[in-house]
Structure 1
């Protein structure tokens, strides 16, 4: 049977079925609300697009076994690297020492992911999937994000999500915190959701939707991680979040679009004065969203990916 047009579809596939599910979702990402790739590989040689940010705003679950000798390791590694990196997808990942088979631990996490994702879709509806086109950033000089230079930092794939390389100098972290703490109506204190030592940014009178906050009840819209990390987590409108990831300034939180708001992203810490200006503007966009400002972002319709034709 074929699902009716517009009906939410979540794909899941094991082994060869993972390649089939992956091919479907890469061919037409906007048709689906999520995909689980279990102990298998994406079909890299099947002619489907495997382009940067192809799966932006589309939650994915991937599980692999370190002792899997059925699927070639290079294909497993390529699948893992793409889903947790270039794809732009919020990817909940699981690894265990098993071979080629679903384990109780991976099954539990898969069930949690499915429940969280479907609950979000049923309560709030899916957000648009794809590469955002012409996303406006009123809080950034020039109104648009430029590409961040250099390679993407190493980021922990498990929880807590942490930036592990190319970290911001301590003095820039402190300057960033001073600037964003001075935004209108902002108070600060220990984060209600992050690791010990993370500093939360709260907007108690923010009129934005619950999706604009990392912790809606506490009105925490962003937090700065401790000095050994230096990155931030914050909430953005989904189009801005995808645009940020596409331009290399951050990466989705693994639980975004499931347990957490769709626009929950990590922003990499600034490495120099120029990046400090950009990251300050990104936090200001999150603040505007939490404030309920109407011009936080303005996106044109999603641009078709020519490689899909």
Structure 2
């Protein structure tokens, strides 16, 4: 079942027009949300990021879009799909109502909420071999628009095809200044000794929910010095450890980049702290 603009409908009946602006122009934003046993993880962060994304896209935010209203909408579809007692992945998409060409006929929005079952209620550290490469065919543009989750994901799609064609598990994206920005599906962290870095939002990095949680955790850990700073591709092979983060998988350690192989000591330390943070959220 799907929540289509507040109505619970069968997936086969959940239809959008071919003139939907999310399809026609990528005029849409979305949140990927993890729900565990009927509780939305990091809901406050998701809510405020969604509101910020809609404002950046100059969408009109409905008066009823309070945190309480949207939480109710999400949990209702979770319960309808009998996912209240397990882990679930939710996609909350907002699109501008159809009409107009590049210039919209309206700033009003519609929305759709879909769900998917997940296997684990906790973040688990996957220690399987995981190889990455740089994707250099196209760039992420630094600036505010790249920090939001919009339907304009052509670079991520093309990078994913490149990764599959070349038997990589993931690729890292670079911006027009040739700095490493993020992975295809999440933020990146680089570890060298007791120094830990992640690219700043000003470089075009996604304003990730788990990124924010780990930054808060790392700032409290006296054993490490944390920085939000630009990362050159040359630093990748000098690192002791690289890991990728997103709200669905948590933390994914990287095993290999070109000739360099990595450990996952810090990732293993952080995954436990992240699970504690998730239970408290």
Q: State the TM-score bracket (shorter-chain normalisation).
A: 0.3 to 0.5
TM-score normalised to the size of structure 2?
0.32
- Structure having the higher strand fraction is 2
TM-score normalised to the size of structure 1?
0.30
